[in-house]
Every structure is written in C-alpha cells, then in structure tokens.
Amino acid sequence: MAGPLASLKVVEFSGLGPAPLAGQLLADLGAEVITVDRKAAVADPTDINRRGKKSVVLDLKTEAGLAAARRLIAASDVLIEGFRPGVMERLGMGPETCPERLIYARMTGWGQNGPLAQTAGHDINYLALTGALHAMGDADRAPVPPLNLVADYGGGTMFLLLGILSAVIERSVSGKGQVVDAAMVDGVPAMMGLIHAMLAQGAWSETRGTNWLDGGAPFYRCYTCACGGYISVGALEPQFHALLLEKANLPAEHSKTQNDAAHWPERRALYERAFAQRSRDEWADIFAGSDACVAPVLTFSEAQFHPHMKARETFIAPNGVLQAAPAPRFSRSKAGEPAQPGAIGGETDTVLEGLGYSVAERRSITG
C-alpha cells in the first residue's frame, strides 16, 4: 500500500481502544503494521481497527513464542503496546531489552507512573480526573460523557501518534529510539489551552451550561426542530451571529448584546420556540450555503449521504460496513483505500518466514 508512511514498520501488541486505532491510522497512511495476537480467528469485516494490518499469532507463554516476538520487534521501527505498566517487562520485552533504535510507544489512561498507574479505568474516568467531564452536559443533570472520543481517541490515540512521529523525526537526527509515554490524563489537558486561558481570564464559569461553548450561549448549542430532529448553531462571531438572526427571523437587536450572559436564558427559550416551528431539513435548506454556522445534526447512518461528505468521499463502506476513509489527505503520497480486516493470525506463516524461520521452526512455534 502506498502512503507517506510506507517506509515505517510497526509491531502492535493487540488490545482495545486507542492503541489499535493508532495502528489503524498508521496503516491507513501506508505503514506496515503487524499485530501480535493470542488466538487465531476468522476475518471480521466489522473490526475496522484491523484494516490494513497483518496479524501473527504467537504464544507468549512459551519461550519459542517470546523469541519470535523479540525477533519481530528487532525488525520493526516502532512498537505499540497498551498494557498496564510492567506487563511487557514481565514478558521480558520491556524497552531495556529492545534495540536502541526502536521507538517504544506505550498507551495508557493513567500513565506509566503515579498513584493510579496500576489501576483500571476507562475514558469516562480519565476525562473526569482532568476537569473536562465536569463541563459537559446540561446544568440541571449529571455530566454527559462525549462517547469515548475525547480521552480514548483525542487525548490517547492522537497524542500517541504525535509522540511516535515526533520520535521518528528525532531518531533521524540522533539515530536512537526512545520510549513514548502517552497517557490520556496528559493528553486531555493538553487540548484544553483555550479553556484554561478563559478560566485564567475570568471568562469561563465552572457552572456547567453557562458558558460560550458548553450550551449556555443561545448562539452555540443545539435546538429541537418540529420533526423531532436537531439543528446545530455555532454563530460565535458577530457577523455570523447577525446572519443567524436574519435567517431565523430573530430580533436583530440581539446583535448589540450578543455576549451579555444576562440575556442568554430568555434568548435560549425564544430560540427554542423559533427552531421548533420548522423541521430540521427545512432549517438546513434555509441556512444552506450561508456563513451563519448552522448545520443539521445527522445520525451516523445519515452522515454518509450529506452532499459535502459525498463530494469529499469522507466515508467508505466496503462489505457494507460504514467507516471513514483514510485521513488526512496528501497531495503526493496518496494512501488509497485500505485493505479490509483479515483473519487474525492470517499472516503468521508469512511473517515468520520473513523473520528467517524455517518450515520446521514455524511449525514448532505455531503448532
């Protein structure tokens, strides 16, 4: 497969969540990604995080399996693992046993050290500890988790990838690899520069649902339409806000006091009544092509059919399984459509042969 990362060889120890997505995104951009799996299984076209990857099944409870894993690691540029701290060391495959040029990428929620490093957790827990979760949802109810997009994939996967590719660049200077400690509790706060700035400036309240970006502002929230669907409104800038008022037939004088929070409760109620007069798609037509920053709230199944998404071919559906096309896009190093998920362990024999194992040796490892 072509792509800007076609020269990169990655070994991924299979797991759940942000690490497999990181491997998938690297594979999408052309990297050779080989997952080390525990047990063979048939191909599952819905296992999207496996697309574009190869798979080798090794028994890491045996010395032969561990030896094969070490040989695979030695032939790789990057190792990705998402176990609790110490697991890889107990297997004899910690960073200190690996080649000096290897980039050893570790993905966890709590990080490699700290009081909670050995504690189980999930996206909602990591998000909670950063302060971000407290700001999400309506003021009169408990915070609402934003799926698992923010901690797992925003603060996790994306920072793991940033660490890997930064280490690849640094290795081109030093000739040495290093450990990347990607922790979701580090990544989420790193995305909160704007919020931290507004807190420091006294422009953000810790009372949920009273702020510019948390649904408190009448011009930055979602409204229920006559059909029961929803419309999203994000008219932050004055010129965009003026367009919102004009097209929704709302009072033009609201522009003068747009950011006066004292007016927001009554205006939210007024805007709710206004948007409830038409269906979602009627509002979408009214605002189509304008700079009012208004868009229909689509379901997962609807999104693929939106004219803009179709024009950009943002979604693909191989074997009828809806999923995102590779992103981002490049002017020269085009990745193309990724290979779909194969059988777990489907490349075991080929991978071991590439590592120099004879037929007899391969049989002793795989049984």
Q: State pLDDT tens for residues 114-127.
A: 999 999 999 999 99
Q: Using 50, 70 and 90 to split pLDDT, how confident is the model at 249?
A: very high
State yes or no: pLDDT of 367 exceeds 80: no
Q: Which two tokens stand for residue 290?
A: 């304008």
132 and 172 belong to one structural domain: yes
Mean pLDDT across 59-86 = 96
156 and 181 belong to one structural domain: yes
Mean pLDDT across 265-272 = 98
- Beta-bridged to residue 35, according to DSSP, are 12, 55
149 and 253 belong to one structural domain: no
Q: Per the residue annotation, which of 28, 152, 214, 241 is the catalytic one?
A: 152
Q: What pLDDT, on a 0 to 100 scale, did the predictor assign at position 360? A: 87
Instruction: Report which of 35, 205, 57 is spatially closest to residue 134, judged by C-alpha positions.
Output: 205
Tell me, yes or no, whether 209 lies in a domain: no
* pTM score, whole prediction: 0.95
58 and 165 belong to one structural domain: yes
Q: Per the residue annotation, which of 47, 122, 186, 349 is the catalytic one?
A: 122
Mean pLDDT across 316-343 = 94
In terms of Cβ atoms closer than 10 Å to its own Cβ (0-12, 13-18, 19+), residue 102 is buried
Tell me, yes or no, whether 33 lies in a domain: yes
180 and 278 belong to one structural domain: no
261 and 360 belong to one structural domain: no
Residue 187 sits in which domain range?
Answer: 9-191+316-366
160 and 40 belong to one structural domain: yes
Mean pLDDT across 251-258 = 98
Q: Indicate the SS3 state at residue 87.
A: helix
Q: What pLDDT, on a 0 to 100 scale, did the predictor assign at position 285? A: 98
Tell me, yes or no, whether 201 lies in a domain: no
Q: Using 50, 70 and 90 to split pLDDT, how confident is the model at 1?
A: low
For the domain that residue 35 is a member of, what is the CATH number?
Answer: 3.40.50.10540
47 and 94 belong to one structural domain: yes
Q: Indicate the SS3 state at residue 272.
A: helix
122 is catalytic: yes
Q: What pLDDT, on a 0 to 100 scale, did the predictor assign at position 2? A: 83
Distance CA 30, CA 9 (A): 10
14 and 145 belong to one structural domain: yes
Last residue of a domain, one of 294, 312, 330: 312
Q: Which two tokens stand for residue 115?
A: 């009081």
Mean pLDDT across 140-152 = 96
Amino acid at 95: P
Q: What pLDDT, on a 0 to 100 scale, did the predictor assign at position 362? A: 87
State yes or no: pLDDT of 336 exceeds 90: no
As a whole number, the mean pLDDT across the chain is 96
Looking at the chain, how many residues does it have?
Answer: 367
347 and 234 belong to one structural domain: no
179 and 286 belong to one structural domain: no
Percent of residues, the chain, with pLDDT higher than 90: 96
301 and 360 belong to one structural domain: no
For the domain that residue 253 is a member of, what is the CATH number?
Answer: 3.30.1540.10
